[in-house]
């Protein structure tokens, strides 16, 4: 998946998390933070945790229209992070690339040809 910030043109290629197993695993047990885009297929409240995630990352909740609604810095082994309002997507990303995105930015999400 490709996430493009329409405000500044920055692009991030992400692994997709669309299956139950991919959403369950997320960033757990990985040696480094890789960008992951969760597509929940509907709007809702989607809490996460960072148990067995060994580095800090940033969670961006995104609307079905592509607006970044909420941004949360997440520490390793943090028990609970959740969006307050409904969102369709969740982007988990390292701090360096997280600086390319801000609350209120519009993003375009496209398929990159089978990356998962």
d(CA 20, CA 68): 23
Whether the full predicted model's pTM is greater than 0.75, yes or no, is yes
Phi, psi of 45 (to 5 degrees): -100, 125
Q: What is the per-residue pLDDT for 111?
A: 87
pLDDT the model gives residue 18? 83
Domains located in the chain, CATH noted: 2-110 (2.60.120.1140)
Tens-level pLDDT at each residue, the chain (116 residues)? 999 999 999 999 999 998 888 888 999 999 899 999 999 999 999 999 999 999 999 999 999 999 999 999 999 999 999 999 999 999 999 999 999 999 999 999 998 754 43
């Amino acid at each position: 998946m490709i996430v493009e910030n329409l405000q500044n043109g920055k692009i991030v290629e992400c692994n997709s998390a669309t299956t139950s197993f991919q959403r369950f695993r997320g960033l757990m047990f990985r040696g480094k933070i890789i960008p992951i885009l969760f597509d929940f297929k509907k709007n809702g409240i989607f809490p996460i945790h960072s148990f067995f995630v060994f580095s800090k990352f940033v969670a961006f909740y995104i609307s079905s229209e592509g607006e970044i609604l909420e941004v949360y810095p997440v520490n390793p082994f943090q028990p609970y992070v959740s969006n307050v309002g409904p969102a369709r997507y969740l982007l988990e990303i390292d701090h360096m690339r997280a600086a390319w995105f801000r609350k209120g930015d519009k993003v375009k999400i496209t398929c990159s040809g089978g990356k998962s």
